[in-house]
Amino acid sequence: MSLFVGRPNIPDIDKFLVKTKNILESKHLTNYGPMVRAFEERLTEYLGVKHAITVCNATIGLMVAINAMELSGEIILPSFTFIASAHALEWDGIKPVFCDIDPKTHNIDPVKIEELITDKTTAIMGVHIWGRVCPHDELLKIARKYNLKLIYDAAHAFGTTYKMKQAAALEDLSVLSFHATKAFNTFEGGAIITNNDKLAKKIRNYCNFSFEGEDNVTGLGINAKMSEIHAAMGLCNLDKLPDVIAHNKKVYECYKEKLSGINGISIIEYSENENNNYHYIITEIDESIFGKTRDELHKHLHENGVAARRYFHPGCHKSEPYRTLYPNLNLPFTENLCKNVLALPGGSGIDCIEQVNEVVALIKTCD
């Protein structure tokens, strides 16, 4: 048995190949061709937003957004996130200020943010971990109180909602990831989402080297464009998305039922009042009850062909270069969670419910 946490969702191959043939025959491979324009239009409709600007990947998307918003100094974000969230800031010359999380939600804790704000703080970056949306109202209130921008790393949150509003539509700006391992993918890619017309124009300009017209360069831009072939993959995967989410939810609910009988292992809950993509099967291991550590279970599963993942081990502030930059930083809830979280194969990594039963049976044999 070989099961993985992240396996790409593949669309209707024949439909994708037709689009590929059209791209090759048109010889329009990049530079905002018809596929990208059509994909962006579909995204704005699906998300209910004014602007969805596609990018080559979400990390570059974050970097472009940060520059377009003219952020500087310090930005507060959780350490419990993929390292790209912090790296995007560091590459832009901004100091990432790591905040602890709420252990119940795994998202940044608004209560702990205000004590981290200084005269150098220009923004708060929330991260919608597992697609469960940050406490937006509280974060927005803090941001407005201190005249800060609010930016979301929404890499996990395609199709998820907050008060039944698409998470990507939350102000001031969101960046989505369409990496191959996400619930929705374009091979590689992402999108910057905003309802601000002026900001959107600036972002699109930055994504194309800051060209305005044929040969007028107006500032320091970069090449962040999505190609036609990536957009074609996105268009095809959008058609398949309802089926993908339905499968993900079925797998999640099966895990939830089967794991309920194992003491010391809890699975995260998704709100019944919101939409989610159910892409992540996240468990927490209580060693004192389960009898084994998370790492012992992780090793046991790997030895038996189940490539479980220790998200986000060991936490950004315990990884370089931040471990050296902030050697005395103590984030107790983050550090505890990093020791106990284990992601199990889900989504398209699971072909049938029988595979869920096999994973749970393996967990029961960990001794």
C-beta neighbour count of 65 within 10 angstroms: 31
Rounded CA-CA distance 16/11 in Å is 7
pLDDT digits (tens, 9 = 90+) for 25-58: 999 999 999 999 999 999 999 999 999 999 999 9
Same domain, 182 and 217: yes
Rounded CA-CA distance 60/343 in Å is 26
Query: pTM for the full model?
Result: 0.97
Rounded CA-CA distance 223/206 in Å is 8
Domain that holds residue 327: 240-364
Helix residue ranges per DSSP H, the chain: 13-26, 34-47, 58-68, 83-91, 136-145, 197-207, 228-259, 287-290, 294-303, 322-325, 332-340, 353-364
Rounded CA-CA distance 235/200 in Å is 22
Rounded CA-CA distance 252/270 in Å is 10
Give the pLDDT of the chain (367 residues) as one tens digit per residue.
789 998 899 999 999 999 999 999 999 999 999 999 999 999 999 999 999 999 999 999 999 999 999 999 999 999 999 999 999 999 999 999 999 999 999 999 999 999 999 999 999 999 999 999 999 999 999 999 999 999 999 999 999 999 999 999 999 999 999 999 999 999 999 999 999 999 999 999 999 999 998 899 999 999 999 999 999 999 999 999 999 999 999 999 999 999 999 999 999 999 999 999 999 999 999 999 999 999 999 999 999 999 999 999 999 999 999 999 999 999 999 999 999 999 999 999 999 999 999 999 999 999 7
Q: Please count the structural domains in the chain.
A: 2
Same domain, 299 and 282: yes
- Residue 262, classified by CB atoms within 10 Å of its CB into exposed (0-12), middle (13-18) or buried (19+), is middle
Q: Which of 197, 219, 237 is the last residue of a domain?
A: 237
pLDDT score of 367: 77
Element (H, E) at 33: none
DSSP 3-state percent helix, strand, coil across the chain (nearest 5): 45, 15, 40
| Residue recorded with tokens 């324009």 | 37
pLDDT digits (tens, 9 = 90+) for 100-125: 999 999 999 999 999 999 999 999 99
Same domain, 65 and 80: yes
Same domain, 185 and 263: no
Rounded CA-CA distance 154/168 in Å is 7
Contact 358, 320 (CB under 8 A): no
Q: Which of 237, 268, 285 is the last residue of a domain?
A: 237
Same domain, 48 and 149: yes
| Residue 309 C-beta-side C-alpha neighbours within 13 Å | 16
Quick one: tokens of 28? Answer: 């329009």
Same domain, 12 and 74: yes
**Inter-CA distances, 61 with 131, 139, 185, 286, 327, Å:** 18, 21, 15, 37, 29
pLDDT score of 6: 80
Q: Is 55 helix (H, G, I), strand (E, B) or coil?
A: strand
DSSP bridge pairs for 223: 208
Contact 262, 247 (CB under 8 A): no
CA triple 66-202-132, angle to 5 deg: 45
pLDDT score of 235: 98
pLDDT score of 99: 98
Q: Which of 215, 237, 259 is the last residue of a domain?
A: 237
Same domain, 311 and 323: yes
Contact 9, 185 (CB under 8 A): yes
Same domain, 54 and 107: yes
**Inter-CA distances, 133 with 115, 175, 347, Å:** 22, 13, 19
pLDDT score of 213: 87
Same domain, 69 and 100: yes
DSSP bridge pairs for 152: 126, 174
